[in-house]
């Protein structure tokens, strides 16, 4: 019984590997360039990257300034 | 030659084919492509809020789509929905089982889900008629712990389990619509693509898999890690996958080139990665580690550009708000911290 199971499992694995082997791949140069481009395009609107001005920071308590 | 031996040989041959196909498109490395780009400047984030209320280790947290409310799960047996702007607790939901390992907020904001060593995914309706939060469904079928769950919408949720499978559930009927099998080790983490058509899973077999939700099929498998993958996430443009592992490293794999692009590692880091989240542009990767810290990586240059230090125990979970305004870390020290 366990042999039948192992063969079934092995058949499934081969089937899956066939699917994965058959996919289309693009060149790393193209993929990496697009990742870089995406980062560049969105950098200016990335709050953690460019910082958040206090007045626009919903997490910062806006305490009034006390002039002594 | 017996059939088993034949199949083994075929598998080996296909693995070689995949290796060769990946090599064939490997015309350059990511470091070479970004060699002309400067590393981002030092990132110094401050704790803006500390969410206090849990009485034991926090195991998971997830932001709501409004970037204001978030849900956290602790082994004190509670799910807490927080208003992160005010630190108020919107809901404190007592759980049947305190052995919770994951939680999720539905995109609609109408429900939350959690699960853990009870092998179930419990769905809670936050918008019940009488104002009380009640269990809506208990999704039971996994034969191992629930490590992660993510809503697709109010009627469907995806789970990952220690039984080595992931599943798509119909919340209404409480049944599994699709079982995603293929991992050879406990599934530890999952992330859904922005278009809700695909999801990725990380497992204790050291691989990450990309799944087609509607076809129920695994499209791609990514290896390279030398230990369990605990954390996984999509790069914001949806074309790359980020993983964090017990081997102390994070990796970025490109889906269309079907291979690893870069590893985020440092010889001084000798503990596992527990959690990770990219910033809005993808340029920063925040990763939580077993050594109580969170490292911030420049995703393109693979250099550490900041640290979030402030927890007194392991950082177990991390999440960046959908609007990118803040990061939240959850820790075994029972606190959640909001940083920006």
Assess A9–B contact: CB distance below 8 Å, yes or no. no
B117 has a chain A CB within 8 A of its CB: no
Nearest residue of chain A to residue B49 (CA atoms): A59
Q: Which DSSP symbol is given to A56?
A: G
Helix residue ranges per DSSP H, chain A: 2-21, 28-43, 47-50
Q: Do A14 and B11 touch (CB under 8 A)?
A: yes
pLDDT at A39: 97
Spell out the per-residue pLDDT of chain B, length 340, in tens: 689 999 999 999 999 999 999 999 999 999 999 999 999 999 999 999 999 999 999 999 999 999 999 999 999 999 999 999 999 999 999 999 999 999 999 999 999 999 999 999 999 999 988 888 999 999 999 999 999 999 999 999 999 999 999 999 999 999 999 999 999 999 999 999 999 999 999 999 999 999 999 999 999 999 999 999 999 999 999 999 999 999 999 999 999 999 999 999 999 999 999 999 999 999 999 999 998 889 999 999 999 999 998 888 999 999 999 999 999 999 999 999 999 9
Q: Which residues contact B227 (CB under 8 A, 6 or more apart)?
A: B206, B245, B246, B247, B272
* pLDDT of res. A63: 66
Confidence of residue A66 (pLDDT cuts 50, 70, 90): low
Whether residues B84 and A38 touch (CB distance < 8 A) is answered with no
pLDDT for B266: 94
Contact B243, B208 (CB under 8 A): yes
Distance from CA of A67 to the nearest CA of B (A): 24
Residue B26 to chain A, least CA–CA distance (Å): 5
Given CB atoms, is A8 within the 8 Å cutoff of chain B? no
Nearest residue of B to residue A44, measured between CA atoms = B281
CA-based end-to-end distance of chain A: 86
Contacts A–B by Cβ distance under 8 A:
167
Instruction: Kindly list the strands in the beta sheet with B69-74, ordered across the sheet, starting from the edge strand earlier in the chain.
Output: B58-63, B69-74, B78-83, B88-94
pLDDT band at residue A53 under the 50/70/90 scheme: very high
Judged by CB atoms closer than 8 Å, whether chains meet at B280 and A48 is answered as yes
- Sheet-wide strand order for B259-264: B229-234, B240-245, B250-254, B259-264
Residue B208, both tokens: 């990450």
CA distance B17 to B306: 40
Nearest CA in chain A to B42: A49
How many angstroms away from the CA of A6 is the closest CA of chain B?
8
């Amino acid at each position: 019984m366990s042999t039948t199971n192992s063969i079934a499992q092995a058949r499934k694995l081969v089937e899956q590997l066939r699917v994965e082997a058959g996919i289309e791949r693009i060149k790393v140069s193209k993929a990496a360039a697009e990742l870089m481009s995406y980062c560049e395009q969105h950098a200016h609107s990335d709050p953690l990257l460019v910082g958040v001005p206090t007045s626009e920071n919903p997490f910062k308590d806006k305490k009034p300034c006390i002039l002594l | 030659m017996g059939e088993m031996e034949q199949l083994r040989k075929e598998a080996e041959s296909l693995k070689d084919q995949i290796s060769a196909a990946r090599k064939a498109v490997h015309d350059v490395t990511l470091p070479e492509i970004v060699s002309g780009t400067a590393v981002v400047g030092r990132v110094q984030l401050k704790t803006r809020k500390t969410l206090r209320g849990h009485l034991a280790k926090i195991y998971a947290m997830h932001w709501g789509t409004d970037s204001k409310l978030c849900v956290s799960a602790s082994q004190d047996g509670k799910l807490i929905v927080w208003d992160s702007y005010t630190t108020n607790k919107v809901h404190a939901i007592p759980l049947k089982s305190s052995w919770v390992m994951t939680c999720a907020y539905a995109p609609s904001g109408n429900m939350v889900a959690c699960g853990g060593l009870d092998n179930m995914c419990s769905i809670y309706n936050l918008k019940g008629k009488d104002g009380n939060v009640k269990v809506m469904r208990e999704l039971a079928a996994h034969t191992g712990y629930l490590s992660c769950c993510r809503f697709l919408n109010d009627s469907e949720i995806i789970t990952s389990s220690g039984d080595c499978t992931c599943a798509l559930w119909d919340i209404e009927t409480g049944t599994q619509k699709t079982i995603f099998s293929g991992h050879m080790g406990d599934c530890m983490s999952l992330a859904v693509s922005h278009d809700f058509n695909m999801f990725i899973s990380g497992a204790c077999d050291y691989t990450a898999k990309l799944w087609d939700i509607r076809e129920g099929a695994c499209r791609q498998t990514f290896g390279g890690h030398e230990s369990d993958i605990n954390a996984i996430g999509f790069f914001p443009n949806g074309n790359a996958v980020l993983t964090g592992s017990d081997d102390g490293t994070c990796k970025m794999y490109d889906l269309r080139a079907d291979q690893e692009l870069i590893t985020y590692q440092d010889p001084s880091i000798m503990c596992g990665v527990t959690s990770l989240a990219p910033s809005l542009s993808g340029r920063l990767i925040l990763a939580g580690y077993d050594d109580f810290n969170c490292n911030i990586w420049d995703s393109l240059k693979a250099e550490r550009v900041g640290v979030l230090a402030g927890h007194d125990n392991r950082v177990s979970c991390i999440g960046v708000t959908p609007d990118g305004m803040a990061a939240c870390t959850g820790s075994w020290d029972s606190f959640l911290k909001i940083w920006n």
